[in-house]
Structures are given as C-alpha cells and as structure tokens.
Structure 1
Amino acid sequence: MTMKNIKIIFILLLAVLTGCSDDLLNKEPLSDVTEDNFFTKASDLQLYTNGFYRLLPSTSIYNGDTRAGNILETTLSEEMRSARTIPTTGGGWDWGYLRDINYFLENYQRGDNASAIAHYGGVARFFRAYFYFDKLKRFGEVPYYDYTIDPDDEESLQKPRDSRQFIVEKILEDLDVAIENLNQDQQLYTVTKYTALALKSRVGLYEGTYEKYRNISGYETYLEASIEASEELMNNSPYKVFSSGNPSSDYLNLFNSHDAVGTEVIFAREFNTALDVDHNVNYYTTTSSYGRPGMPKDLVNTYLNADGSRFTDRPDYNQVFFTEEVANRDPRLSQTIRTPGYTRKGQTQELPPNLGATVTGYQIIKYVTEPQYDTNDQSITDLPIFRFGEIILNFAEAKAELGTVSQTDIDNSINVLRNRVAMPHITINAANNDPDPYMQNQYPQVKGNNAGLLLEIRRERRIELYMENFFWDDMVRWKAGQFITRPLRGLYVPGPGEYDFDGDGDTDVVFYKDDAPGNQIEGIQYLKLDSDVFLSENNLIDPQPNFNNRSFNENKDYLYPIPRIELQLNPNLEQNPGWE
C-alpha cells in the first residue's frame, strides 16, 4: 500500500469519526480504496471534504472574546497580560489541513459527475481560503502553497513568506471560484455559495481596514470586495435579520435556540445530544467554579438608552446602582446579561445576577438555555459561524470607511438591526455632527468626516456581535491595541450593606467587611469586600486588582510569534517583529 493510499484511508476515518450521513457509511470497504478508484463518485468527494469541517471553531465562538477582555474571567488571557511567549512548536503553526485540501484539489476531478465536482471543489476552495485567512490574522505574511509538497522538495520546504497582498488575493481568488461553483441550497451546517460570500465579506472588511489604519495603499480594493459580497447576500439570498416582532426577546432567542435559526444564521456549528456533540456554555456562565465570565463595564456603558440618548452623557454614569443602570437601555443589554425580570428559558422564576458566577457582576446569558443543560459539556445550542447580522455590519462599516456611505445604506443595515430591538435609528448627519466623547476616548484613531458615524458603527458591532469571537480581530484591524490596557471594571457597589439587585424589594446580596454577618439567610449572597470582591477607588468592582498596569506593544503584539523549531527548519522564514 502506498503512502498516498494510507493518507486517503486516514482522512476517510477522520471524516467518519467527525460525522457523516448513514448513506456514506454503506460504501465499499476502506480496504478497497486505492488511488485509482477513489475520487470518482460524488459520495467520495463528500466523504473526503467532510474532514475539512474540523477546521471550524468550537467553544472559541463564545469564549474567544476573553483575548481582548471583552469577556473578563478570574484569569486574564495571555494577550491581556502581555504574557505570550515564543513556543518551541505548535502555537497555531499547523499545516496538515492545507495538505489535505491541496491533495483533494489535485485529485478530485476524476469522475464524470460535473455538478458534484464543481460543488466539492468549491468546498475545498472555501476551506483553503478559510485556512489562509486564519493564518494571515495570526501570523501576518506566511508561505503560500496551492500544491502538496514532496518531502524531498527543499525549495518549497524552505520557501520564504509571501506578501500579505499576494495571500489576500489568493484567498479572494479561491472564494470567487467557490462562489461560482458551490450549491445555492440553504444549508445550516454545510458550506454553500452563501457561506463563501459571507467569508468574502469578512475577509474584505478585515484586510481593507487593517491596511487603511496602517496607511498601506490599495486598501480600497478589499473594502470594495467586502461590499460586493455583502450586497449579493443582502439582495440575492434567502437570509434576513431574524425578528418575530418581539423586541424584548428576539435577540436572546436567536442565540438560545437549540437549533440555529436559519432565517439569519448562514452557517453554524451543530451541537446535538444524539450525536454526542456538545459544549459547556451553560456551565461556563452559571457556575462559580469555572472562569466566572462577565461583561466589562466599559461595554455596558456603551449601550444607549432606549430613547437613543447616550447613557454616558450623564455625569454620574459610573456611580449608578445596577437596577437604575440597566433600566430603559437598548433591549440587547437585558438579552445579553441578567437584569431585573430575567428568567431562565422554559422557567418563570425571576433571578437576580449571581455575583458568585461573574467577576464583574454583569452575568452573561447569551446562548444559555434550560437548567437541565447546566452540567459541564451538556449544552447543545448551535453556535453561529456566519450570520446575516454580521454581513450588514460589514457592509455599513466598509461603506463608511470608503466614504461612500449614504443614509439609505445605513437604513438597510445598522437600522435593520435596531428595528429588531425597537431602537431609534442612526442618522449620518446627527452621528457626524455630534460624535460620542466616550466612544472617541475608546477609539482615538478614528478621524475624518465620517468619524462620528464610524464610532456608532463600532458601538453597534461590539454590542450586536458580543461573545461571537470578533473583538480581538476588530481591535487588530483597527490598530486599536491600546484599548486592552484600559482599566478593567465591573458594576458599582456603594459600599458595605444589603442590596436588591432585581428590584423586587428583597435583599439579594450583602457586601461586608471584617466578620461575616450572623444568621445568614438562604438565597442571599454574602460577599466579603477585599476578599471575595475588590473595589476600585470609585467603588467599581475590580475583577483583576493585580493586573491594572498592563501594556500593549504596538510594534509586536498584533501578531503571534512563529515557533522556534520552524525558524530552524526553514532559515528563509523571519520571526515576526518584536519577537526576535
């Protein structure tokens, strides 16, 4: 048996283990698979490409926001602590999937089923683009290969990095081929034309803004590519912003549905008890023993009041008690964290935030379902990888960055998201004539005629896409790394005393100093100041009192280091700046 035969069998076994339909299992035995008789049937192509789906993210979809402190936990990420080091091996420098994809693209056209060949070739092209986009974001320039490498091919093995622009052009080229050939069926868990359009929308915006904020010429081409793909999805696809006409629950229900909502979700990661594929978001957000994730106050502050006015325009915005702070705000706030009146899915009991389960006091509820799924690794909510809400945000931002945005563009994008939660619309003139000082302080690099509008788009993006693993990438492409050195804060605690966090007139939390109160009442949380909870100088919860002096190196920290062993194996590779 040749090495190539072994390779095919290995990929098939992985594809079977990662899930495929029953009809794919009723095929000729793997022992009969050879280089000559494989890749000849549609089922062969499907079975092989099933292995590519292992590239997709899993729980990082919802806990990836910890990298930039958009979710705060008991332990800060290495990125937040400036604690990244150069690994000897690993570190994301893994090329096995690329070899599988390129091997497929060199062999998949052996059969006579033209439609299957076109579609599965498109699937492979999508995943090669996805693979290289991930590498580009992490390492910047990398060697580009669109062929399998022979172990004796020293020239290829010691190839230097290709330019950033070359890699992006190759990514977009693959996506254009994929868009042309992929099936147009509406599928939640498999790649289609719409999935490739969504990735093109994301890639174009990322690279266009990455280059714009680093003064690299030619960035406009990528923003235009993002707009083109976004418009195709907006005008010629079955997707739209999910809404049932209930602004107080539609955003929450989009994410706590067991099965992805196909109205808006273009592509999702499937989780299912019957398939024994699950994750731990309920356990992650409800237990006191696993991370204790919480929303940071600087994000809570950016949610507008329900009438569209700015919460941070009030001079005491950092000294407002919780029940008043969260009242009459953008409805997405109460559909993302526990606020007064919150009930678990399928239940009627109103629950205050559990301050023992969140380091900031703002307890996250996005993706959380019924209590029966609270045990570790029992959650089965599907997790969105691409959804229409992102696409229209990409569209609005790309148009605004290019300076070609119109009020109609904003009405067809940002304001559609606001319609879902019955929030007042953004108008370009109002946004640009009165930029938000709080947002300006967060993003001082935003300047120009559309500065006010861009700040509003960034507000909308961070709120709408919270806990969907976008914020680190957004911070990188905006060249906004200093943002993660901001003070990390939680909710306001006036001092020791008894507090009602759900507004029902009963005490929910007691903060105390020195000795614990006697005769403690069941159902009330007792937290010791300077032990269980630390407060800043202005009485905001300080979730990380030992990490208030953090730094971000603008010349180093946007990229990750290449492992040492790779630099030894390929002397033509150069380490990323600052990591030498």
Structure 2
Amino acid sequence: MKNINSAILIAASALVAMSCNDDFLERYPTASASPPTFFKTESDFRTYTNLFYSYLPGDAAIYGESADNIVKSSVDREIAGTRLVPTTDSKWDWRPLRSINFLLNSENVKNYKDAAIRDKYVGLARFFRAYFYFEKVKIYGDVPWYNVVIEPTDEANLYKPRDPRTLIMDSVLADINFAIDHLDAAKDVERVTKWTALALKSRICLYEGTWRKYHTEFNLPDADRFLNECVAASEALMNDGPYQVYTKTTGPSGKPYQDLFATLKLDPVADEVILGRRYSGDLGLKHGLQFYITSRTQGKPGLEKRLVNSYLMADGSRFTDIPRYDTLQFYDEVQNRDPRLAQTIRTPGYTRIGEKTPVAPDFEATMTGYQPIKWMNAVTYDGNNQSIQDLLLFRFGEVLLNYAEAKAELGILTQADIDKSIRLLRDRVGMPNLDVAEANALPDPYLMAMYQNVKGDNVGVILEIRRERRIELVMENGLRWEDLMRWKEGHLLTATFQGMYFPRPGLYDLDKNGTMDVEVYSGSKPPAKGPYQIPASDLSNGTKGNILTNKNIIKTFNELRDYLWPLPVEDRTLNPNLEQNPYWN
C-alpha cells in the first residue's frame, strides 16, 4: 500500500505515512475506496472497532501524573513553564479520527440491514470521536471539526482553519448522546458500553462547564448548560447503572480503597470499575508501574507536601488547623488521618502485599519521602516492565465527584446530594460525612489560599469537594492537571514543591521501629552509616525545614498563554490557515 504523502495533511495535522502490510486494520481506513466486502457482518464491525481501543491511554498515562500532586526527579516543561512551540508534536495527531470517520461514512455501514447492530457500532465510533475531540479541545481549544474522511484532492478540508470551541463541543455532545442511546447496557469492564458513554459525558461536561465559568477571558457561553448536562449524565449512571462504590474487604490488603488499585484483575473490583485496560503475564502484556514507584532510576515519585496537608483528620477536622501542623515530623503528621493517606503512601506499619515485615519510606525511590503505594501489589512485580495490574480508565467514584462538583458550581447542591455522592466515598474508609452548611459557614483558609478563583456563597463546599477530588483521584488518568487547567489555578504549579519536615540535622527513625531510616547532615557529607543521607542545604530553612525538590528550577506560569498548548510549526507551515494560540507566536 502506498504511504500517505505528507502534502495531503488534514487541516490541523500531519497524516503520517501508513505502514505497508496486508493487515485488515492497516488497509481499511486509507484514502482508497472502501472494498465492497467490508462491513457485511457484525464480525466485520467488531474486528474493525477493536482498533479504537488502542486510542485510550495506557500504562504511565494512567498512573504517572505529575502537576502538583506527584513530585519527580525531573520537571516537565509544562510544570516548569518552559514549553516551546514545537516543530512537530504527537499530541497533534489526527490518524485516529480518520479511522473513526471511515466507519461513520461507509456506505456499507449506512445501508447495513440490521439497524440495531449498525447503530451500536456507529455509537461506538461516535463515542471514540467524542473522546478524540475532547482530548484535542483540552489541549488546543479551537480545532478543525471533521466528520468525513479527508481525501487527497479535498483542498477545502486540507486547508481548513480552526473551528470555534463552541461548535466542536456541541458536536461532541451530539456524538456522546448518540452513543448513550445506542450502545449496549450490559456491564463490561473492558468494552465501551452505555455506562462508559455516560461516564465520559459526565467528565466532558464538568470540564467544559467549569472551563467556561472560570476562563472568562474566552467569553464562552453556556457554562451552566454543560454543568447541567454533567449532573444529568451523572444522575443517570448513579440511578440506573449497575455500579456502586467498592467496599469489599476480601482483596489483597483487606482495605477497599487500596484494593481498588492493588487487585491484579478488574473483575473482583467491577462493582466500581466502568472501563479499564487489561494486562496479562501469559500474553506478555505488561507495564512498568511498580518499577516506576520502587526504582531509584524512574523519577522517584512522591506526594507533594500540600497534598499531604490536605488530608483531613480521621474525625473530619482539618489537619491544617492544628497548631504548628507545618513542623510536625513524619510519624506524628500521619497519625489519625483520613485512612486514604495510609492507603496511598507508606506510613508507619506499612507492609507490602504478601509480606510480613513493615517497611519505611525508601528515599532511594522517592523525592519527598511520601512514597506512593497506590496501584502496588506484590514484590514480584517490581522488575522493569513486570507489572500486570489491570488499570482503571473510568470508575464510579469519579462520577460521584463530578456530580457533587457540578451541582456546587451551579449553586444547587444540597446535603441530600452530598449524602448520595461524597458520603459513599467517605463511608468506604470510615470518614465522617461532608456537612454542606458547616463547610460554607467556615471555609478552610488553607484551601482558600490555594484556590484563588472560587467566589460566592458556595465557596466552602466547593473547596471541600476539590479537597475530596484531589485525595480520592490522585495518580489517576492525569485528572489533577485537567482540574488545575479548568479551574484556572495554574499558579499552583509555580510553588516550590516540598517533602517531609526535619527539625535539625541528625538521624531519623521515620516509622519508630528502632531502625534509622534517614540521616540529615550539615556541612561536608559524613561517612555513610546506612541510612539515606540528605544534606541540610536541601531543606527549606538551611539547617531545618521541608525537603525542597528541584530547588534550582524557578517555575513560571503565564496566565495569558499556558492554559492551552501551542500548535506545531510544521503543521502551520503546511496549512497557513491554522492560527496559533494566543501569546505563543
């Protein structure tokens, strides 16, 4: 098969050359006329649409978030504020859309004899088109809308300018609504169903509604319409869907929140999982999750101090209301906290699944000392690309949070709404319920200092929902970055990221088991005594304070520019009708 020449790029992208082989899925969505034998049976539909699942994120894209939740040994350009206009960029890749639109425009599909089967697979294609465009809009804002397969002679589409965000998102809504109406309602953790489409709609509409509300500089209408659509989609899934918060204590750790991510297979936690990505040791489908968390060479991820501070006390009171909370040492600061903290990082008494000996945080593998355990299973999976955990793409817990946040942003949230959403997540870990009246009467000053754009009568409860969302969804699908972008809180990326507090140089037994785990030293590095050594100069106050990570990197965030990404140079050269995003020229 001929390679597709780069001169026939679709309006905002390069159609990178397709490989030459005889595989059905490689041959089908090309510029050539569709063979008359395709889409003659349901098996044809199923075989072809299997390709679409490869467009969903996998591996590190699911668990490897950064933003201001997870600190790593290096700082991504978008976190540091040093992004440049790229020559090319994989994020500006339009090949998946071509494959999707090929099915949607096939005459064989339009004339298929069984309307129910036809519409089911058309619904699946429109689900993936909605997903595709949602990802593009989050990154670039306005993009060209294509609902046809672009042919080499179609100059009008090849050189099309960007369409308005309003047109794109209305088209996305039409796609996802069709998918909801026509996809199967049977529960399936690895296939897109009606419930997956509702979960995606919930996510899309919360994002778009809050983006339009907080990004007034774009003068976008209908913020409330999208927030109401989020409420409706979430309610439909909550009321009619076959899902509930996973609360069983029969998993690897016996702790339901931790086991939602520690269980190797999705099936035991399918109460909550709407869609996931499968892995298998037998099939050689593995990833590097546990190597990433336990290795000294893979970024040394650790939770950032402000996130750790955000976890409530076990009685529901605020940790940051405790006198001198910011100078508590590790052992003391993690006592009597929201149980999700000890199910997200190593705390005193933590043991690996399948092991009996408690282990302290390993500074060889974490920048901040707050070492993640979310997604972790037995030691046998710690090797490079040896993890086989199935990974979660959509889960019921996120939908509950979307519902509560959308109602709060609309100003219509009631205590009854909290009782059927956030309360379910807190009940799982034995935390007191969120009280709407109390939250609004006494907004948390710690969170108010962080989230500077929240206004109005509902400030307190919006802040508490943001707290809940950050804690519940940490290390899941890059949602924290998306939250900061839609809330217009990019300034939080510029703070110096910090870790554990140490009051002075000396030896420290982090979990108080009698073994020293860390040595903080001043001056010249002393001979190693066994514990991990930290120079006091890496602490915030020279000889004491919090660990400073990447302390020589001065981070910036341009409020006029950095909420959107720049379009690549090469694609704007090929299509001069593509305008660059504001302040990126």
TM-score under structure 2 length normalisation = 0.91
Task: Return 5+ residue gaps in structure 1 as ranges.
Answer: 17-32
- Alpha-carbon contact 2:496-2:551 (below 8 Å) kept: no
Deviation at 1:2, TM superposition (A): 9.7
Alignment CA distance shift 1:419-1:141 (3 Å): same
> Which residue does 2:9 correspond to in 1?
none
Deviates more, 1:275-284 or 1:394-403: 275-284
Equivalent AA in structure 1 for residue 551 of structure 2:
P
Rounded to whole Å, the distance in 2 between the matches of 1:406 and 1:119 is 37
Maintained 8 Å contact 1:561/1:576: yes
1:264·1:387 contact (CA, 8 Å) conserved in 2? Answer: yes
CA distance in 1 between counterparts of 2:85 and 2:126 reads 31
> Contact 1:338–1:365 (CA<8 Å) still a contact in 2?
yes
Point out where structure 2 has 5 or more consecutive residues left out of the alignment: 5-17
After superposition, the C-alpha distances for 1:329-359 in whole angstroms (9 at most, x for unaligned) are 0000000000001111111110000011100
Q: Structure 2 CA distance, aligned partners of 1:161 and 1:313?
A: 49
Deviation for aligned residue 1:422 = 0.6
Query: Could you tell me which of 448, 454, 461 is aligned with 2:462?
Result: 454
Q: Say which SS state the counterpart of residue 492 (structure 1) adopts.
A: strand
Letter paired with 1:175: I
| Equivalent AA in structure 1 for residue 278 of structure 2 | E
- Cα gap change, 1:210 to 1:15, in 2 (>3 Å): farther
Where 1:400 maps in the other structure, the secondary structure is: helix
| Distance of aligned partners of 1:93 and 1:151 in 2 relative to their CA distance in 1, 3 Å threshold | same
Checking the alignment, whether the CA contact within 8 Å between 1:41 and 1:113 is kept in structure 2 is no
Q: Contact between 2:310 and 2:319, CA under 8 Å: does it hold in 1?
A: yes
Give the distance between the partners of 1:414 and 1:127, measured in 2 at CA.
29
What are the superposed Cα offsets for residues 102-152 of structure 1, whole Å, 9 maximum, x if unpaired? 001112344434332222111101000000000000000000000111111
Q: CA offset at residue 417 of structure 1? A: 0.5
Q: Which residue identity lines up with residue 51 of structure 1 in the other structure?
A: L
How far off is 1:308 after superposition? 0.6
The alignment status of 1:12 with 2:24, answered yes or no, reads yes
Percent of pairs identical after alignment? 46
Paired residue total: 557
Q: Is the 8 A contact 2:145 2:162 kept in 1?
A: yes
Q: Quote the Cα distance in structure 2 between the aligned partners of 1:519 and 1:94.
A: 50
In structure 2, give the amino acid aligned to 1:578: Y
> Where does residue 77 of structure 1 map in the other structure?
76
- Note if contact 1:512-1:526 (Cα within 8 Å) is conserved in structure 2: no
Alpha carbons of structure 1 residues 34 and 201: separation in structure 2 relative to 1, 3 Å: closer
Q: Which amino acid in 2 is paired with 1:131?
A: F
Query: In the TM superposition, what whole-angstrom CA distance separates every residue of 1:300-336 from its partner, at most 9, and x where no partner exists?
Result: 0000000111110123111101000001000000000
Deviation at 1:512, TM superposition (A): 2.5
What amino acid maps onto 1:46 in structure 2? R
Q: Partners in 2 of 1:563 and 1:250 — Cα distance?
A: 44
2:14 alignment counterpart: none
Helix, strand or coil at the partner of 1:318: helix
Measured in 1, the distance between the counterparts of 2:555 and 2:34 equals: 56
Match of 2:519 among 497, 507, 510: 510
Question: What RMSD in Å do the two structures reach over aligned CA positions?
Answer: 2.2
Output the amino acid matched with 2:507.
E
Does the CA contact (< 8 Å) of 2:273 and 2:396 recur in 1? yes
Which residue of 299, 306, 313 corresponds with 1:298?
A: 306
Amino acid at match of 1:92: K
Residue identity opposite 1:130 in structure 2 = Y
2:295 is the counterpart of 1:287: yes
Counterpart code for 2:187: Q
Contact kept? 1:529, 1:535, Cα under 8 Å: no
2:540 corresponds to 1:539: no
CA contact (8 A) 2:60 2:289 kept: no
Which residues of 2 match residues 140-179 of structure 1 at below 5 A? 140-179=141-180
- Alpha-carbon offset, residue 536 of structure 1: 4.3
Tell me the distance in 1 between the aligned counterparts of 2:180 and 2:510.
50
Mapping for residues 262-277 of structure 1, pairs under 5 Å: 262-277=270-285
TM-score (norm. length: structure 1) = 0.92
Deviation at 1:62, TM superposition (A): 4.0
Give the SS at the match of 2:196: helix
Are the structure 2 counterparts of residues 34 and 248 from structure 1 closer, same or farther at C-alpha, using a change threshold of 3 Å? closer
In structure 2, how many angstroms separate the alpha carbons of the residues matched to 1:223 and 1:451? Answer: 17
Q: 1:200 to 1:300 in 2, by over 3 A?
A: same
By how many angstroms is 1:53 displaced? Answer: 1.1
User: Which residue is equivalent to 1:21?
Assistant: none
Q: 8 Å contact 2:102–2:149 — kept in the other structure?
A: yes
1:196 shift after superposition: 0.5
Match of 2:502 in 1: 493
Aligned to 2:256: 250
